[in-house]
């Protein structure tokens, strides 16, 4: 019996590991990632903090309502958005690293499985040869 590797093994080798970068999809995806990479930095969060703090004195003078509006609309949306994006980038990078490690582990297991199939085939052939040799000898 001839061993035929599962077709998924060849398909897996041609596709490679799925990572965040490979999921871009055209110009729009590329542009979105470029903007995200620019806004999703701590330096951008620092710049947004400075920008938000410029209007803080005016919000304080306006009283409770304008101050709460400043916190919700200016500070939280402007500053925390960048910080959240930084966290998402870190999480995505870790996820990509884990996906690549899992992919490499699966590749190794597929190779081991393929090698085991070859060894089983050899073992079967040798066992059959031994049985033929034992059966061909006639008792004296």
Per-residue pLDDT tens over the stretch 13-72: 777 776 666 666 778 878 888 888 888 889 999 999 999 999 999 999 999 999 999 999
Q: Which residue's entry shows tokens 């998924």?
A: 8
pTM for the full model? 0.55
**b/e map 14-47, b = 16+ CB within 10 Å:** eeeeeeeeeeeeeeeeeeeeeeeeeebbeebbee
Asked if pLDDT for residue 73 goes beyond 60, the answer is yes
- Assign 2 a pLDDT band (cuts: 50, 70, 90): low
According to the model, what pLDDT value does residue 43 have?
92
Question: What percentage of the chain reaches a pLDDT higher than 70?
Answer: 89
Give the residue extent of every domain in the chain.
25-135
Distance separating alpha carbons of residues 63 and 97, to the nearest angstrom: 49
Looking from the CA of 47 toward its CB, the CA atoms found within 13 Å total 8
């Amino acid at each position: 019996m001839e061993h035929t590797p599962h077709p998924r093994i060849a398909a897996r080798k041609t596709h490679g590991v799925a990572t965040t970068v490979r999921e871009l999809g055209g110009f729009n995806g590329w542009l979105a990632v470029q903007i995200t990479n620019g806004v999703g930095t701590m330096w951008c969060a620092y710049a947004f903090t400075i920008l938000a703090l410029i209007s803080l004195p005016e919000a304080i003078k306006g009283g409770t309502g304008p101050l709460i509006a400043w916190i919700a609309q200016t500070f939280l949306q402007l500053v925390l958005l960048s910080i959240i994006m930084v966290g998402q980038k870190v999480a995505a990078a870790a996820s990509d690293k884990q996906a690549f490690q899992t992919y490499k582990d699966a590749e190794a297991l597929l190779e081991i499985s393929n090698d085991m199939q070859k060894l089983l085939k050899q073992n079967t052939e040798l066992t059959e040869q031994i049985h033929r040799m034992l059966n061909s000898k006639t008792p004296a």
